[in-house]
Amino acid sequence: MRHLTKRLLALSDRAYRLLLLAYPAPFRRAYGRHMAQVFHDCCRETYQRGGPRELARLWLRTLADLVVTAFRERVSESDSTNTATPIHALLRAGEGRGTVRRFFRRSDCERRESGALTRRANRVIKLAADEARIFQHAAIGPEHILLGIMRESEGVGALVLQDLGITLDQVHRSVQQSAGAGGDQESEWPKLSQRAAKTLEHAAEEARLLNHNFVGTEHLLLSLTYAGEGGAAETLDRIGVRSDQVRGQVLQVLASNRMRC
């Protein structure tokens, strides 16, 4: 009987793992393992409490949840393609916009061939703007882009930072220490600073060096590891993370997964 229970639960686990394919790949990569774990825990507890009957009920509820949320995730995945507007708003307001505008114009022209920011990278810039606004800094700097990468939470950049055990609070504190809370005027769309423009240019360069025809969160993160104008090496340093650690981890993830984010 015990043996049968074990097999039933194992079967249930396997079936759910298979069903996770209904979710878009990035979502699955970020949360699939945890969802399977949670479902496993639920099954075990439900079975102990109510036997096969309750387990069947749990399955029905979970299937309904799966259909609705897989659909929602797929829609939100395709929705977020449309994040260009804030960036254009940024550029309109931006200082140092010459460089950045050139960058974006170029990526527009060559969208098919090279240099286009991925959806996730676009989102990172949007979140960076949000961070600058929260700090009441007048312009987006590389450190806000770092925060943006973390908050985006699903791209290779975010995964690498998570793997290194870096938390959002740590980075917030580090930025606060260096830049302070900024009494700058609050504007809805902070400008992109010259330094952040450099970050984007370096990111495009990183992508070219890796032979990638897109600029993703991993390239943004790579370009932040520099100590120069467009980098956030100091911010990382204060958290106790070495730039070459970040670099190494990014390249390792890219090599092992060849993930496109």
Partner 1 sequence: MQNHASGSEALLPLTPAVFHILLALADGERHGYGIMQEIAAISEGRLRIGPGTLYGSIKRMLVDGLIEESDERPDPALDDERRRYYRLTSFGRQVAEAEATRLARLVGQARTRRLLPGVEALVDLGGA
Residue ranges in contact with partner 1 by CB under 8 A = 23, 27, 30-31, 34-39, 41-42, 61-62, 64-66, 68-70, 72-73, 127, 133-136, 151-154, 162, 165, 167-169, 172, 176, 181, 186
Q: For residues 85 and 176, which CB has a smaller minimum distance to partner 1 in the complex?
A: 176
Question: In which residue are the tokens 């699955």 written?
Answer: 28
Query: Shortest CA distance to 217 belongs to which of 139, 140, 160?
Result: 160
Q: How far apart are CA 142 and CA 165, in angstroms?
A: 20
Strands (E), 66-127: 116-117
Q: For residues 127 and 196, which CB has a smaller minimum distance to partner 1 in the complex?
A: 127
Q: For residues 7 and 61, which CB has a smaller minimum distance to partner 1 in the complex?
A: 61
Question: Smallest distance from the beta carbon of 167 to partner 1, in angstroms?
Answer: 6
Structure tokens at 50: 């109510």
Q: For residues 87 and 149, which CB has a smaller minimum distance to partner 1 in the complex?
A: 149
Distance of CA 153 to the CA centre of its chain: 3
Q: For residues 36 and 251, which CB has a smaller minimum distance to partner 1 in the complex?
A: 36
Question: Smallest distance from the beta carbon of 31 to partner 1, in angstroms?
Answer: 4
Query: Shortest CA distance to 103 belongs to which of 111, 94, 115?
Result: 115
Question: Smallest distance from the beta carbon of 141 to partner 1, in angstroms?
Answer: 16
Question: Smallest distance from the beta carbon of 139 to partner 1, in angstroms?
Answer: 16
Q: Please provide the DSSP assignment of 126-184 as one string.
A: HHHHHHHHHTT-SEE-HHHHHHHHHHH-SSHHHHHHHHTT--HHHHHHHHHHHH-S--P
Q: For residues 127 and 250, which CB has a smaller minimum distance to partner 1 in the complex?
A: 127
Question: Smallest distance from the beta carbon of 177 to partner 1, in angstroms?
Answer: 13
Q: Please provide the DSSP assignment of 55-73 as one string.
A: HHHHHHHHHHHHHHHHHHH
Q: For residues 100 and 139, which CB has a smaller minimum distance to partner 1 in the complex?
A: 139
Structure tokens at 221: 């993160």
Question: Smallest distance from the beta carbon of 136 to partner 1, in angstroms?
Answer: 6
Question: Smallest distance from the beta carbon of 190 to partner 1, in angstroms?
Answer: 12
- All residues at 6 or more sequence positions from 83 whose CB lies less than 8 Å from its CB, including other chains: 119, 122, 123, 126
Backbone angles phi, psi at 76, to 5 degrees: -65, -30
